[in-house]
Structure 1
Amino acid sequence: MEQIDISVVVPLLNEEESLPELAAWIERVMQQHGFTYEVVMVNDGSTDSSWQVIKDLNRSNPCIKGICFQRNYGKSAALHSGFRMVSGDVVITMDADLQDSPDEIPELYQMIMEEGYDLVSGWKKKRYDPITKTIPTKIYNAATRAASGIYLHDFNCGLKAYRKEVVKNIEVYGEMHRYIPVIAKWEGFTKIGEKVVEHRARKYGTTKFGLERFVNGLLDLMSIMFVSRFRKKPMHFFGMLGVLSFLFGGGAALWLLGDKVYRSAMHMEIGRQVTEQPLFYLGLTLIIIGVQLFLAGFLAELISLNNTSRNEYLIRERVE
């Protein structure tokens, strides 16, 4: 089997017009630089003729391969399936809308193979997007930098390069494609770089992303930061909160009881009964919450041990 230098993974949804031009552009770049390559186009439930275009491209160029989902699962699912299929030493991801330039591939390849990076993320320093998209993106990137400790300007840039070992050892699910650098760092691939890349204006079709992605991005950031720390030890998180809650609650209840005993022993005015004081019910509530957090931790441990179907997607057809 021929050794492949570069694998290109292209997730797509309704991009029938751009695919022939993208395939020809990638082929031209690969031939100019003498790379052996494959392109895996993942059709994420398109309703146009994108899949037929991919099959036609495969017949004319066997380096073009494809995966067709039965329905739309999302970009993370498309990338995950593409990563499972590739075999190149360096894996490049790019969008299918021609806003990412294949001319960037040789330099990205060099940064991985010669400069030793595990992952290189593109930075679209000059963007052709409306302000309603660029401002939320800046906020999102700043929040991700602060939470992850990874200094990248553009976490969500679709144009990225990976050492093969990275894509074979990370799991991308839900909508976590935005946080692949965070996931890679979590798995121990810490040499992460950045390259300024060209951002081209969209030539065909319309964007598939709305403003809701920024809300989803914030929720996903919270999720990935939790999962990255506690996926294999959820009891450490829930147990810690449970212990704190139980101790505060138990401490409040013991203080009230101790105060009552002390006042009784010293023949002092006892005042209100323990059960008549708000602090007693606050303490009782904290004790109950502490027990519930312990139970949540045990359940999370069981779920993490038995979840084997997170990345199972129904694939209708393949071409290789």
Structure 2
Amino acid sequence: MNISVVIPLLNEQDSLTELHDWIARVMLTNQFSYEIIFIDDGSTDDSWKVISGLASQDIHVKGIRFLKNYGKSQALHAGFEKAQGEVVITMDADLQDNPDEIPELYHMIKVEGYDLVSGWKKKRYDSVLSKNLPSKLFNWAARKTSGVKLNDFNCGLKAYKLEVVKNIDVNGEMHRYIPVLSKNAGFRNIGEKVVQHQARKYGVTKFGIDRFLHGFLDLITIWFLSRFGKRPMHLFGALGFVMFTIGFAFAFYLGLDKLWFNPEGRLITERPQFYISLSTMIIGTQFFVAGFLGEIILRTKQDKKRYTIKGALNLN
């Protein structure tokens, strides 16, 4: 199979049939073998009914239905698990991503040899205050923090080699950082393509300012995980050692001062500097223990299921 199109969605009943027909037309024109995997992330409208109707008419359509809304990252994770195509394309279901971009994205993966190609919505039709400005700030911070030089981390239209999506773990709100996750997994040939962005035709956007706040917090998380996720002792142990050493050295100095230089002065326990040094040693010890516990948890953790699937269509 050439292409798997993975489409997470929430309450997009009006756009699904048009999106399916558009994708099918592109695939037929380019003679691709393909599958379309819709992941209904707990929709409360008739989205699953529409997907069921499409699946009954078209064997290329497959569906996954979550019991409730778990988030886009969990939906992508479920779609990646089921994808079988040599190239995996992700796109949003709101018709703002253009399926006509698929052939070129496929070419960049299969012929030009990229591991991942991310779309860049250079010209956007979103509100300037609610999405454009926060998105620019977010993308700047993501580039500086991750070292991945992309202009648009948020674009849902991306293409991957199959082995990439099978070797990354997308959770929380980490769908924004799939290029970073891919880089951390060893897939460093990451490209970017300017893609056409279209104004939303149906419904309303599901993204607000709070999503970007969560995105920045996740950016800090992924920075930490990429640098210390597999060796927490390297961070917490080092901090603990430095703080304990500083506190101990200060306490040792106070002891020498009392013993040799100022024997008639106040007791060490009457000096506030002693409690500062003691607190520093205690905090240093706690940091060290945190690193040690992190190492134990890392070696004993078991993967837990992060979502519950209520129904599936045309999946083996």
Partners of 1:258 and 1:119 lie apart in 2 by: 62
| Structure 2 equivalent of residue 296 of structure 1 | 290
Equivalent runs, 1:268-287 vs 2, <5 Å = 270-287=264-281
Equivalent runs, 1:55-70 vs 2, <5 Å = 55-70=52-67
Is 1:79 the equivalent of 2:80?
Answer: no
Deviation at 1:234, TM superposition (A): 1.3
SS of corresponding position for 1:10: strand
Q: Deviations over 1:95-114 (max 9, x none)?
A: 00000000000000011011
Deviation at 1:298, TM superposition (A): 2.1
Partners of 1:316 and 1:23 lie apart in 2 by: 22
Equivalent runs, 1:153-164 vs 2, <5 Å = 153-164=151-162
| C-alpha contact (below 8 Å) 1:99/1:199 kept by paired residues | yes
Is 1:182 the equivalent of 2:180?
Answer: yes
Match of 1:48 among 35, 45, 49: 45
Greater shift, 220-229 or 272-281, is seen at 272-281
| C-alpha contact (below 8 Å) 1:119/1:161 kept by paired residues | yes
Partners of 2:264 and 2:141 lie apart in 1 by: 53
Q: Deviations over 1:77-107 (max 9, x none)?
A: 0000000000100000000000000000000
Amino acid at match of 2:179: P
| C-alpha contact (below 8 Å) 1:173/1:311 kept by paired residues | no
Partners of 1:172 and 1:30 lie apart in 2 by: 27
Partners of 1:224 and 1:205 lie apart in 2 by: 32
Deviation at 1:125, TM superposition (A): 0.2
Is 1:90 the equivalent of 2:87?
Answer: yes
Is 1:307 the equivalent of 2:301?
Answer: yes
TM-score, with structure 2 as normaliser: 0.97
Amino acid at match of 1:316: K
SS of corresponding position for 2:241: helix
| Structure 2 equivalent of residue 14 of structure 1 | 11
Amino acid at match of 2:44: T
Deviation at 1:56, TM superposition (A): 0.6
Deviation at 1:311, TM superposition (A): 4.2
Equivalent runs, 1:245-256 vs 2, <5 Å = 245-256=243-254
| Structure 2 equivalent of residue 233 of structure 1 | 231
| C-alpha contact (below 8 Å) 1:77/1:311 kept by paired residues | no
Aligned residue pairs total 313
Query: What is the root-mean-square deviation in Å for CA atoms of aligned residues?
Result: 1.1
Identity of aligned residues (%): 58
1:270 to 1:110, Cα distance in 2 relative to 1, 3 A: farther
Is 1:108 the equivalent of 2:105?
Answer: yes
Partners of 1:8 and 1:108 lie apart in 2 by: 12
Deviation at 1:228, TM superposition (A): 1.3
| C-alpha contact (below 8 Å) 1:170/1:183 kept by paired residues | yes
Q: Deviations over 1:198-249 (max 9, x none)?
A: 0100000000111101110110000011111222211211111111111111
| Structure 2 equivalent of residue 152 of structure 1 | 150
Structure 1 residue runs of 5 or longer lacking an equivalent are none
| Structure 2 equivalent of residue 134 of structure 1 | 132
Is 1:206 the equivalent of 2:204?
Answer: yes
TM-score, with structure 1 as normaliser: 0.95
Amino acid at match of 2:271: Q
Partners of 1:286 and 1:269 lie apart in 2 by: 25
1:52 to 1:306, Cα distance in 2 relative to 1, 3 A: farther
Q: Deviations over 1:110-153 (max 9, x none)?
A: 11011111010000000001111111111110001000111100
Amino acid at match of 1:236: H
Partners of 1:241 and 1:144 lie apart in 2 by: 25
1:315 to 1:35, Cα distance in 2 relative to 1, 3 A: same
Structure 2 residue runs of 5 or longer lacking an equivalent are none
Partners of 1:308 and 1:24 lie apart in 2 by: 41
Amino acid at match of 1:164: L
Partners of 2:87 and 2:253 lie apart in 1 by: 63
